[in-house]
Chain A
Amino acid sequence: MDKVVRMSSEKGVVIFSKSSCCLSYAVQVLFQDLGVHPTIHEIDKDVECREIEKALMRLGCSTPVPAIFVGGKLIGSTNEVMSLHLSGSLVPLVKPFQANLC
């Protein structure tokens, strides 16, 4: 779906979530803790919510939200983000997008 491709290719960390999804919020908090300001797309506020959900599932997400993209690439859902972080691989991935205090 074009819309999804466009939104997910935005620079930095992109999170597809729903306003009611507290797990998406947890992922947001984690990225913020790492010094990253992710772009949040609350798909339940979008008219094409169902299509977006289906598109995300087709891209390989086990659940439509939260879906995390870094630098246009799909990382996965909460599980994948947590595994990456504990193995130490998440920080290098988001390093280019960390807010620099200079």
Chain B
Amino acid sequence: MNSTSTHFVPPRRVGIYEPVHQFGMWGDSFKSNIGNGNMNTPTHIIIPNNQKLDNNLSEDTSHGTAGTPHMFDQEASTSRHPDKIQRRLAQNREAARKSRLRKKAYVQQLETSRLKLIQLEQELDRARQQGFYVGNGIETNSLGFSETMNPGIAAFEMEYGHWVEEQNRQICELRTVLHGHINDVELCLLVETAMKHYFELFKMKSTAAKADVFFVMSGMWKTSAERFFLWIGGFRPSDLLKVLLPHFDILTDQQILDVCNLRQSCQQAEDALTQGMEKLQHTLADCVAGGQLGEGSYIPQVNSAMDRLEALVSFVNQADHLRHETLQQMYRILTTRQAARGLLALGEYFQRLRALSSSWATRHREPT
């Protein structure tokens, strides 16, 4: 039985709607139904066949019903009750007519939904082009924030909020102790806690990248000024060194040498990753633009691009690894006190960027 017809079928009598197959465009399926030995088709029913329509109907009347009892009933009553036949035929015609009307309504509904879907897709594209973050397909509010249904990302955003709060607290504490007196052991502990806090962020990002790598890459969880300096989903390791180095008062010759080497190797590693990313962009673009553009079909291109995108997660992880190692090396080169001052400077730098973001966002508001 053609499966689409089941949509119209009321629970009780499947067979009555069989006539739908023969009318209009589906004459062929009727032929094939008969041809492939449909069990319910009794080829031995003898019914006057003046009209083709009646013939089809009558064949069907007897074959499509749910169970054999009906068939036998009709066989038995055929010769004795011609009125019954007529009545049954009329019922069939009526049922078929209603079925056709229902089908027409359903198809119209499908067409409308299809148009609506196309419209929605176009709206989404427009929103994306305008730079709104549109989440993984389901929820997005008018402000364009990433209130996605992706639980991994929602969890990350919440955790990041806590991370920033803890960061601010640590910066405050560092500032206080560096202006006062603190013994080296306690300072060392503070420095290690601060370092671990950064490493914790990289772990969080790694988990989030598995959930939605584009989200991490776009830096959507950061403030706008921070995003301006974005490099593969975070800050540039070389920027970190640029920010920190002026704040160190006395460096030994060995330290100067080490810092110099670190700057160079950091820059080289960064450049290598940048070039790798560019290659990834090129291959992805080639992938997406492959085949014929303008034909309206794109499934193979999209599928092969999906494979390439897995590499993006590796790049994000590698970039964070570079940030991790840069921090680690600075910690190794500097004394505890210097490291503390460095972490304070770095923390405050990011605080300033965040402040810049909110100042910029509110600059058009009326002063109170």
Q: Does B77 have its Cβ within 8 Å of any Cβ on chain A?
A: no
Option from A21, A29, A91 in Cβ contact (under 8 Å) with B275: A29
Contact with B along A1-36 (1 / 0, CB 8 A): 000000000000000000011110111011001100
Tell me, in angstroms, the Cα distance from A91 to B280 when the chains sit together.
27
Interface magnitude class on chain B: 20 to 34
Contact A82–B318 (Cβ < 8 Å): yes
The 8 A CB mask of B309-322 against A (1 = contact, 0 = none) is 00100110010011
* CA–CA, A22 and B311, complex, Å: 7
Total A-B residue pairs with C-beta atoms closer than 8 Å? 71
Q: Within 8 Å CB of B273, what residues of A?
A: 26
How far, in Å, is B325 (CB) from chain A's closest CB? 4
A87 touches B329 (CB 8 A): yes
- Expressed in whole angstroms, the Cα–Cα distance for A21 and B329 within the complex equals 28
Q: Which of B307-347 contact A (CB under 8 A)?
A: 308, 311, 314-315, 318, 321-322, 325-326, 328-329, 332
- With A and B bound together, what is the CA distance between A20 and B329 in angstroms? 32
Assess whether A22 is in contact with B279, with CB atoms less than 8 Å apart.
yes
A46 vs B321: C-alpha distance in the bound complex, in angstroms?
Answer: 31
B326-A86 in contact (CB<8A)? yes
B276 near A86 (CB under 8 angstroms)? no
Q: How far is the CA of A86 from the CA of B347 in the complex (A)?
A: 22
**CA of A25 to CA of B269 in the docked complex: distance in angstroms?**
12
Point out the residue from B261, B272, B325, B326 that lies within 8 Å of A33, measured CB to CB.
Answer: B272
- CB-contacts of A62-87 with B (<8 A): 78-79, 82-83, 85-87
Whether B193 is near chain A, meaning CB under 8 Å from some CB there, is no
Partner pick for A86 among B271, B283, B308, B325, CB 8 A cutoff: B325
How many Å from the CB of B283 to the closest CB on chain A? 7
**List of A residues within 8 angstroms of B321 by Cβ:** 78-79, 82-83
**B194 interfacial contact with A, CB 8 Å:** no
Q: Name the one of A23, A33, A34 contacting B318, with C-beta atoms under 8 angstroms.
A: A23
Roughly how many angstroms separate A87 CA and B328 CA in the complex, as a whole number?
Answer: 9
**Chain B's interface: helix, strand, loop or mixed, by majority?**
helix
State the CA gap A85–B269 with chains docked (Å).
8
Q: Which residue of A lies closest to B280 (CB)?
A: A22
Partner of A25, one of B268, B275, B325, B332: B275
Q: How many residues of A contact B (CB 8 A)?
A: 21
**Contacting residues, chain A, for B318 (C-beta < 8 A):** 23, 26, 78-79, 82
Instruction: From known contacts A23-B311, A82-B318, A88-B261, infer whether A29 and B276 are also in contact, taking CB-CB under 8 Å.
Output: yes
**Is B240 located at the chain interface by the 8 A CB criterion?**
no
Q: What residues on B are CB-neighbors of A90 within 8 Å?
A: 265
CA distance A51 to B221 in the complex (A): 42
Nearest B residue (CB) for A28: B272
Query: Looking at the complex, which one of B258, B268, B279, B332 makes contact with A85 (CB distance below 8 Å)?
Result: B268
Q: Which residues of A contact B266 (CB under 8 A)?
A: 86
Contact status B262-A25, CB under 8 Å: no
Of A22, A23, A85, A88, the most chain B CB neighbours within 10 A belong to: A22
The 8 Å CB contact of A29, one of B261, B272, B322, B332, is B272
With both beta carbons as reference points, the residue of chain B lying nearest to A85 in the complex is identified as B265
Output the least CB separation between B39 and chain A (Å): 50
Residues of chain B with a CB closer than 8 A to A91's CB: 265
Cβ–Cβ < 8 Å partners of B271 in chain A? 29, 33
Contact A22 B277 (CB under 8 A): yes
- A32-61 contact mask (Cβ, 8 Å, vs B): 1 or 0: 011000000000000000000000000000
Identify the closest chain A residue to B275 (Cβ): A29
A-B contact pairs, 19 of them (CB 8 A): A22-B277, A22-B280, A23-B315, A23-B318, A25-B279, A26-B272, A26-B276, A26-B318, A29-B275, A30-B268, A33-B268, A33-B272, A34-B268, A79-B318, A85-B268, A86-B328, A87-B329, A88-B258, A88-B265
Apart from the given pairs A26-B279, A88-B261, 14 other A-B contacts in the complex at a CB distance below 8 Å: A20-B308, A21-B311, A23-B276, A25-B276, A25-B279, A26-B275, A26-B276, A29-B271, A30-B268, A33-B272, A82-B269, A82-B318, A85-B268, A86-B266
Using a CB–CB cutoff of 8 Å, the interface residues on chain A facing chain B are: 20-23, 25-27, 29-30, 33-34, 78-79, 82-83, 85-88, 90-91
Closest 10 CB pairs of A and B: A26-B276, A30-B272, A22-B280, A29-B272, A86-B325, A26-B272, A22-B279, A22-B276, A29-B275, A85-B265
